[in-house]
Amino acid sequence: MTAGEPYTVELAEDVHAYVQPDGGWCLNNSGFVSDGTTTLLVDTAATERRTLALSAAIEDKGVPAPRLLVNTHHHGDHTYGNGHFMPTATLVSHAACRREALASGQHLHLLWPQTDFGHVPIKGADLTFTDRTTLHVGDIEAEVIHPGVSHTVGDSFVWLPHRRVVFTGDLVFEGGTPFFLMGSLSGSLRALEMLRALGAETVVPGHGPVTDPSAFDRAERYIRFVADVAEKSHAAGLTPLEAARQTDLGEYAELPESERLVANLRRAYAELDGHPEGEGVDPFAGFTDMAAINGGEMMTCHA
């Protein structure tokens, strides 16, 4: 499969989404907010080449280079490009995002060693928070909010009240399969409730096309489906891999990245076993299981 070309969506005169189709493995979204003097960037990209294209897209809109950069979580598709924008930009993230980014290092290289990631030095945040913070882009307020352990242990979403726009990071995969191997099933549901409460009109997901709040309902239905499968399979003594192979995905069979079911089941099992959210699961074991579902081969990195 060949990915489509990235494109920029003007959501308002001062807010843009940067979308990388089709939103599959390592094809994330970014976005930027600018008053013409100061620019805030939300997330970067997985490779040097894609980060340079993102930088060029910002320049093409005639706004200044970012002075603020938010990472919504630590995964490399959202953070590998940090170094390109630093130190000109101050990098902001949840404290756990910084910790995990530095601890994980170039983790995508381990999963996809054949991918040309280019020069992507690992950079942790200059400024961290534990609950929420507000960034000021001139007169524009950008609220950066940690919903608790959800997709990962250090997620944030970026809420722009003046435009009713929210950048969700990977709390939402629009048109793809949700993924919470490194976070929490129950925490993901709580995060969706927080997103609903904002009253957003426009939703920029971590992957997939720009959408609206109906995306929260679609994500919740899938997560509750996983919870139901996990409860029954765990009680029956099945392993997550056995459970995934026996599960009829129904309406979710058509979603890309459907192999994520087995990884999500690993997380659900850990919670059923009483492990704290974000703990009790080996991420690489989850990827090994997904590769088994994927015909014995690691999923394709499309970056």
- What type of residue sits at position 41? L
Cα(175)–Cα(165) distance, integer angstroms: 19
Average pLDDT, the chain: 97
pLDDT in tens, 54-87: 999 999 999 999 999 999 999 999 999 999 999 9
Judged against a pLDDT cut of 60, whether residue 154 lies above it is answered with yes
pTM over 0.85: yes
Q: Which two tokens stand for residue 65?
A: 């280079």
Q: Which two tokens stand for residue 126?
A: 């200059």
Cα(163)–Cα(207) distance, integer angstroms: 21
pLDDT of residue 246: 98
Give residue 1's pLDDT band: very low, low, confident or very high (50, 70, 90): very low
Beta strand 90-94 pairing with 30-34: unpaired
Judged against a pLDDT cut of 50, whether residue 197 lies above it is answered with yes
Judged against a pLDDT cut of 90, whether residue 131 lies above it is answered with yes
Burial of 133 (0-12, 13-18, 19+ CB in 10 A): middle
Q: Residues 6 or more apart from 209 whose CB is under 8 A from it?
A: 19, 21, 23, 174, 175
pLDDT in tens, 11-66: 999 999 999 999 999 999 999 999 999 999 999 999 999 999 999 999 999 999 99
Beta strand 68-70 pairing with 90-94: parallel
